């Protein structure tokens, strides 16, 4: 059973991406997460995080690493090119894949209204039957703020633990239908 690594910005992204990756790849033995504080930090430090992953799997390298960062309104191709600039595949004993999230991870978490409804039932102070959004969440100027407000209506504070649980409840097929950037993440999970 393979051991993968995720290199991501912060605790919210790492927690949610871990759960989404495990849905896409139920065969994984473990997911090792390396955080970079923010999206600029991903671009600036992921190469050092990859060096660390040579020994992160009980003294051995991981089987694969996926580097993920949000675009925050920049073009997905521009961010991808920036990530790959200076990357040398032969520097690592494992494959490395890159994925960008448009505009940020919370847009993916907003996608599945049924997951938000389940979350409100499980941990909310008030049950809310959420409705599907009537526009693509990738167009939201601040998906994290929007998600925080949607959850607050059910009495739920948006934390990294809530992000992980919402990702766990989310249907990855629903997310993929709405987001091309999720398709890139899915390919990164499966491409070996």
Residue 66 C-beta-side C-alpha neighbours within 13 Å:
27
- Helix (H/G/I), strand (E/B), else coil: 142: coil
Closest CA to 161 of 5, 32, 12, 35: 12
Tell me: the pLDDT tens digits for 74-131?
A: 999 999 999 999 999 999 999 999 999 999 999 999 999 999 999 999 998 899 999 9
Helix, coil or strand: residue 148: helix
Q: Is the pLDDT of residue 136 over 90?
A: no
Closest CA to 51 of 87, 99, 11, 98: 87
Which domains does the chain carry? 3-103+179-190 (3.40.50.960), 106-172 (no CATH)
Task: Report, as an integer, the average pLDDT of 123-140.
Answer: 87
CA 27 to chain centre: 18
> For residue 6, what pLDDT band results from cuts at 50, 70 and 90?
very high
Does 169 have pLDDT greater than 70?
Answer: yes
In the numeric block, the tokens 């919402």 are attached to 166
pTM of the model: 0.96
Instruction: Please write down the HEC assignment for all residues of 157-180.
Output: CCCHHHHHHHHHHCCHHHHHHHCH
* CB-CB contact of 168 with 3 (8 Å): no
Question: pLDDT value at position 122?
Answer: 95
- 39, pLDDT greater than 70: yes
Contacts of 182 (CB under 8 A, 6+ apart): 101, 108, 172, 175, 176
Q: What is the pLDDT of residue 192?
A: 64
Phi then psi for residue 69, to 5 deg, are -145, 155
């Amino acid at each position: 059973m393979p051991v993968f690594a995720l290199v991501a910005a912060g605790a919210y992204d790492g927690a949610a991406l871990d759960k989404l990756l495990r849905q896409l790849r139920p065969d994984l033995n473990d997911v090792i997460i390396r955080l970079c504080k923010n999206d600029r930090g991903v671009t600036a430090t992921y190469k050092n995080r990859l060096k660390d992953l040579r020994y992160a799997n009980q003294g051995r390298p991981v089987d694969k690493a996926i580097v993920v960062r949000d675009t925050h309104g920049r073009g997905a191709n521009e961010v991808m090119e920036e990530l790959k600039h200076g990357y040398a595949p032969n520097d690592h004993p494992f494959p490395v894949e890159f994925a960008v999230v448009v505009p940020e991870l919370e847009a993916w978490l907003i996608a599945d209204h049924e997951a938000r409804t389940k979350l409100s039932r499980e941990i909310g102070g008030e049950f809310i039957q959420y409705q599907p959004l009537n526009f693509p969440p990738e167009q939201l100027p601040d998906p994290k703020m929007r998600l925080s407000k949607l959850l607050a209506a059910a009495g739920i504070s948006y934390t990294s633990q809530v992000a992980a649980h919402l990702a766990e409840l989310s249907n990855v097929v629903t997310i993929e239908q709405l987001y091309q950037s999720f398709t890139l993440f899915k390919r990164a999970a499966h491409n070996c």
